[in-house]
Amino acid sequence: MKLTYCGHSCVLIEASGRKLIIDPFLTGNPKAALAAADVHVDYVLLTHGHNDHVGDAFEIAKRCDAVVVAPFELATYAGWQGCRSHPMHIGGSHKFDFGTVKLTLAFHGSGFQPGDEQTFVYMGMPSGMLISAEGRTIYHAGDTALFGDMKIIGERNAIDLAFLPIGDNFTMGPEDALTAAEWLRAKRVVPIHYNTFPLIEQDGKAFAERLKSAGIEGLPLAPGESIEL
């Protein structure tokens, strides 16, 4: 399994002969490691409906004939935009041809702003995602605050790698993300959702050092950098 951090909360996963991209906010993202036009995937996974996560999802999905996997309301909206979609919801899991996806809780919002309209479209509950493939389990927390049920997620799943937001202001900051990593019992943690804009600037290397002191491997990947599990 190969995982590439593409900036902000976007992750590209290559597993079981398939390619998946999570939250492909690329156009308009100053930290994006690739252009939307260069993305070729089989699945587009969306944790919630905020524009900095939906990003280029619909354009990518239609061009690649990829399946959008997302919470029900967001997946339905993607279908209305001409995408193939697979709706899910919190607590549910589904086996795809690459492996299994299960949606978890996330404490955040999920409103999509179409174009320049001064309105939001309700996109249901936000989610995190447990992705199991090739004998590995990846946890992408999406945008979330720290919450107690992360302990249960850690108890019930052997998480090989967790993508956790550390930007603060809109999500967990480094302190809460450290607690989340401990509760999740993650073997490795990649910080996400930080340094894209001034309001969420954080020191990823300092966070990794704090993880190390807790016995967890921290991997502050630069946009475009990959790891293999």
In a domain, 228, yes or no: no
In a domain, 29, yes or no: yes
Residue 171 burial by Cβ neighbours in a 10 Å radius (0-12, 13-18, 19+): buried
In a domain, 227, yes or no: no
The pLDDT value given to residue 136? 98
Q: Could you tell me the CATH number of the domain that includes residue 40?
A: 3.60.15.10
Instruction: Report yes or no: 218 and 211 within 8 Å, Cβ to Cβ.
Output: yes
As a whole number of angstroms, the distance between CA 66 and CA 64 comes to 5
Kind of pairing between the strands at 43-45 and 67-71: parallel
How confident is residue 73, by pLDDT bands cut at 50, 70 and 90?
very high
| Amino acid present at 52 | D
The pLDDT value given to residue 13? 98
In a domain, 226, yes or no: no
Average pLDDT over residues 148-172: 98
- In sequence order, which residues have a C-beta less than 8 Å from that of residue 71 and are 6 or more positions away? 46, 48, 87, 88, 89, 90, 103, 110, 123, 124, 125, 126, 127
In a domain, 158, yes or no: yes
Number of domains composing the chain? 1
In a domain, 229, yes or no: no
Q: Whole domain around residue 83: which residue ranges?
A: 2-221
pLDDT at 116 > cutoff 90: no
Q: What mean pLDDT value characterizes the chain?
A: 98
Tens of pLDDT, residue by residue over 29-63, are 999 999 999 999 999 999 999 999 999 999 999 99
Question: 176: helix, coil or strand?
Answer: helix
As a whole number of angstroms, the distance between CA 193 and CA 180 comes to 15
In a domain, 118, yes or no: yes
As a whole number of angstroms, the distance between CA 2 and CA 218 comes to 17
How confident is residue 64, by pLDDT bands cut at 50, 70 and 90?
very high
Rg of the Cα atoms in the chain: 16
Tens of pLDDT, residue by residue over 74-89, are 999 999 999 999 999 9
Max Cα distance, the chain (Å): 48
In a domain, 15, yes or no: yes
Tens of pLDDT, residue by residue over 128-140, are 999 999 999 999 9
Say what percent of the chain tops pLDDT 90: 99
Instruction: Report yes or no: 51 and 27 within 8 Å, Cβ to Cβ.
Output: no
CA–CA–CA angle 73, 69, 121 (5° rounding): 25
Q: Which residue, 210, 194, 192, is CA-closest to 202?
A: 194
